[in-house]
Structure 1
């Protein structure tokens, strides 16, 4: 994250108003919610994990044990259990 001098980017009236609240400090201005992408959306990771989790649940319903799924998907017993219980609901 790079820092910008407010004097160089804000209108003078807005800068004066901000100075009523904070002076000489660093503040963070978050992006608008609609501008922020959710985790994994841009890279496609979210969809890949969702597909994998559905596959785990399907194989569990077909009779594979949690131990077999841990070996097949290289995940911990706890991770497999959480995925199954989350999708059961």
Structure 2
């Protein structure tokens, strides 16, 4: 997120009104609810993690053990177990 100068994007009467409440500080204006994206949507990481987790589950079903999955995917065993548990729960 980058800072914008209010005087470059807002009308002066709006700046004057804002200055009645806050003069000379930083003000964060959140995105409108309709413009919000969930975590990972803009970067694609959410999709990558879902693919990885699906692969972990497939490997588990084909006989790989938790410690082997941990080494293969560079995750601690507790994370592998959590992924397997969540995958089972979501596919019921």
Same fold (TM over 0.5): yes
Distance 2:34 2:71 in 1: 39
Aligned length: 89
Matches within 5 A, 1:10-49: 10-49=10-49
Identify the residue that residue 51 of structure 1 maps to in structure 2: 51
> Which residue matches 1:64?
64
CA distance in 1: counterparts of 2:57 and 2:82, whole angstroms: 10
Q: Cα distance 1:72–1:18, how it changes in 2: closer, same or farther (>3 A)? A: same
Q: Which residue of 2 aligns with 1:85?
A: 85
Shift of residue 17 of structure 1? Answer: 1.9
CA distance in 2, matches of 1:51, 1:30: 31
Counterpart-to-counterpart distance in 1, 2:34 and 2:86 = 27
| Over 6 Å off, 4+ runs | none
5+ residue gaps, structure 1:
none
TM-score (norm 2): 0.75
Identify if the C-alpha distance between structure 1 residues 2 and 44 changes in structure 2 by more than 3 Å, giving closer, same or farther: closer
